Amino acid sequence: MNTRSHLTRRRFVTGSAAALASIAFVRAPARAATWTYRYASNLTVDHPLNVSMRQCWNAVRDETGGRLDVKMFPNSQLGGDTAVLTQLRSGAVQFFTLDGGILQGVVPVAAIQGIGFAFKDSADAFRALDGALGDYVRKEIGAKGLYVHPKMWENGMRQITSNTKPIRSADDLANFTIRTPAGALWVDLFKSFGASPTPINFNETYTALQTKIVDGEENPYAIIDSAHLYEVQRYLSVTNHMWSAYHFLGNNTAWLALPADVRAIVERNLTRYALQQRVATAERNASLADQLARRGMKINQAETESFRTRLQTSGFYRKWKATFGQTAWDLLEANSGKLA
Ligand code: X2X
């Protein structure tokens, strides 16, 4: 008979069951965690990334017998991405998921995942980033003193939203004010399209759109939905102009403070839940168009050839090839085909 059914039965048998139960709890207290770490995310709790991440940390807590307790800080509770990256590097935050395009400020080549029209879909992109291109980027991240897990977490193919007009072709981006994440490649991509980009951290994006500091932004469907951007954006133009995904990063000192068995439990669960999250997020991205249309968004398919042409004629590919270097570029083109 296990303790639980024993106590349950006694509760019916004797009036002192509550007292007995509390004695049992005093004698078997929950073990205090040896390590209490913080995980930060710019996404809402109900985005599939954080749904899987919560399951991941629950599994880690169970499998380590409560030794490692990771507290989640979703929704940019600890600050905007660039500020949290600083906290991660100083050790105030131990774990963080960050898009390679924003990590660019510290690890330049990390932005290569966001080269315009390099990947036709997420499966295509994951082949490169789970493979040799990803290994190259992860080596550079490690060289900057950060821990990085080998499986990235899905954000998705990005679409342009607007409050003023549908974006049908690159011509519609002329002088269009658009928020991009805080990364140099992102800003340059939209300049090359002919737009007027402003880098703004995600936690300030809703307000920037609401107060019309910018007319548009670009994100995958699951974020347009989970962050309620449809409340402050009228048009959604399907462009699939770039792919976006998160590296799982750790402060290296905090990571190495964990014993090998705990690190193995964390890595195994991160792999398991990252793969689960990829499927769940892809399903959301593929199925939300109707729901966003019902919420009032006007959705159109953009003519993307004009966008690609701008990247050729502006020298965008040539410039970023020179920045990232031949080795990284070759690894990219091994998946994407010739770009520059
Ligand atoms: O900042 C964004 O737009 C977001 C949420 O997609 C990223 O983290 C790149």
Q: Tell me: the pLDDT tens digits for 22-46?
A: 444 444 445 689 999 999 999 999 9
Residue 99 alpha carbon to ligand 1 centre in Å = 7
Using CA positions, which residue lies closest to atom 1 of ligand 1? 202
pLDDT at 30: 59
Say how many Å lie between the CA of residue 283 and the centre of ligand 1.
18
- Sequence ranges of the domains in the chain: 32-334
CATH superfamily of 32-334: Bacterial extracellular solute-binding protein, family 7 (3.40.190.170)
Spatial neighbors of 135 by CB under 8 A, at least 6 apart, are: 150
Give distance in angstroms: CA of 219 to centre of ligand 1: 7
Mutate to test the pocket of ligand 1, among 50, 75, 76, 81 (most ligand atoms within 8 A of CB): 81
**229 CA distance to ligand 1 centroid (A)?**
12
Atom of ligand 1 nearest to the CA of 101: 9
Q: Would you state the pLDDT for residue 142?
A: 98
Which phi and psi angles does 174 have, rounded to 5°? -60, 120
In a mutational test of the pocket of ligand 1, which residue from 185, 244, 249 has the highest number of ligand atoms less than 8 Å from its CB?
A: 244
- The whole-number pLDDT of residue 21 equals 46
Q: How far is the CA of 156 from the centre of ligand 1 (A)?
A: 10
pLDDT beneath 50: ranges in the chain: 1-29
Pocket of ligand 1 (CB under 6 A): 42, 99, 155, 181, 202, 219, 223, 244
CA of 177 to the centre of ligand 1 (A): 17
Q: How does pLDDT run across 33-82, given as a tens digit for each residue? A: 999 999 999 999 999 999 999 999 999 999 999 999 999 999 999 999 99
Q: How far is CA 305 from CA 119, 308, 317, in A?
A: 14, 5, 15
